[in-house]
């Protein structure tokens, strides 16, 4: 069994991972301190969600876990489940933008970045990617794309393609779940309505469930790359594939239902608030 240091060290070192996770951690930690000193501390639960999500994404991408993900199909599916769903949901549920902005040092660089983010060159592509039908298509489509046997074979043999696969899943998960978990009121800010968010989860999740069921029930081995390169553990190939299919099928369905409940609760709360405001306005009008 590998020792603790071996488990925590990356299987294949990546500067992209170091720069992303390192800079994000530093910005958020500094932002926490800045906001606390200004008398506007972050709620503890938001910080907990953020650090859990960031730690999970790092663990599955840049520790020994990544080795097992490259040599066991079901571990690979757990890796993508963590990146595309669990870590992305935790991070976007924490609404980290205020802390990240506060953590960036004041100056010309911060002002230039803020202007760039508000420019049409950034806003227009972002709105296109976050157009709900396209967002749902990309969310489900990336799973199908990277699990196409020929493409999966190439991605597992090429380090650049392998990194592109993992990062695309993580970034797409962040984009999709922010669209769903954006805490701003649709009435006041023009964000996606809560009912449409529930529908979007359903539209994006059902195809993935069908794919997971197909993998579980497939009579033949679909991903022979793990036969060629060998498996990390002595497990029957069909059992590895069935487990991978189950992780593509069951946990995403459960998380989709959970987030639907969260959004539904916000919808009911918003409706109650709107009704109370309407009654107040009617009373004041009288």
- Residue 63 lies in domain: 4-285
Residue 283: predicted pLDDT: 41
Long-range contacts of 241-246 (CB under 8 A, 24+ apart): 241/73, 241/74, 241/215, 242/215, 242/216, 243/73, 243/74, 243/77, 244/73, 244/74, 244/76, 244/77, 244/215, 245/77, 245/212, 245/213, 245/214, 245/215, 245/216, 245/217, 245/218, 246/74, 246/212, 246/216
Give 271 or 152, the one with higher predicted confidence: 152
CA end-to-end distance (rounded Å), the chain: 76
Q: What's the CA gap between 14 and 83, in Å, rounded?
A: 16
Q: Total structural domains in the chain?
A: 1
Residue 6: predicted pLDDT: 82
Computed over every residue of the chain, the mean pLDDT equals 92
Q: What's the CA gap between 110 and 116, in Å, rounded?
A: 10
Residue 110: predicted pLDDT: 87
Residue 276: predicted pLDDT: 46
In percent, the amount of the chain with pLDDT more than 90 equals 79
- pLDDT of 144-200, one tens digit each? 999 999 999 999 999 999 999 999 999 999 999 999 999 988 888 889 999 999 999
Coil, strand, or helix at residue 165?
helix
Coil, strand, or helix at residue 234?
coil
In the predicted model, is pLDDT for residue 275 greater than 80? Answer: no
- pLDDT of 33-86, one tens digit each? 999 999 999 999 999 999 999 999 999 999 999 999 999 999 999 999 999 999
Highest mean pLDDT among 72-76, 104-108, 265-269: 72-76
Residue 108: predicted pLDDT: 85
Tokens 């609404």, located at residue: 95
């Amino acid at each position: 069994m590998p020792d603790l240091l071996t488990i925590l060290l990356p299987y294949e070192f990546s500067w992209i991972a170091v720069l992303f996770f390192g800079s994000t951690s530093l910005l958020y930690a500094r932002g926490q301190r800045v906001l606390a000193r200004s008398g506007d501390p972050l709620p503890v639960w938001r910080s907990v969600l953020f650090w859990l999500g960031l730690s999970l994404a790092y663990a599955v991408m840049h520790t020994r876990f990544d080795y097992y993900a490259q040599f066991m199909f079901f571990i690979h599916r757990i890796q993508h489940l963590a990146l595309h769903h669990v870590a992305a949901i935790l991070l976007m549920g924490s609404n980290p933008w205020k802390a990240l902005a506060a953590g960036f040092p004041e100056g010309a660089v911060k002002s230039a970045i803020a202007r760039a983010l508000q420019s049409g060159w950034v806003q227009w592509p972002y709105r296109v990617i976050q157009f709900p039908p396209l967002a749902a298509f990309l969310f489900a489509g990336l799973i199908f794309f990277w699990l196409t046997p020929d493409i999966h074979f190439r991605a597992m043999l090429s380090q650049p393609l392998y990194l592109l696969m993992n990062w695309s899943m993580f970034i797409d998960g962040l984009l999709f779940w922010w669209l769903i978990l954006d805490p701003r009121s649709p009435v006041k800010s023009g964000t996606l309505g809560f009912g449409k968010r529930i529908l979007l989860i359903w539209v994006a999740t059902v195809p993935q469930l069908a794919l997971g069921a197909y993998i579980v029930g497939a009579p033949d081995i679909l991903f022979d790359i793990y036969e060629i390169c060998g498996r990390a553990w002595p497990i029957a190939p069909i059992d590895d594939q069935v487990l991978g299919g189950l992780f593509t099928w069951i946990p995403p369905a459960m998380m989709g239902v959970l987030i639907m409940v969260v959004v539904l609760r916000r919808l009911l709360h918003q409706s109650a608030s709107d009704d109370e405001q309407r009654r107040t306005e009617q009373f004041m009008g009288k």
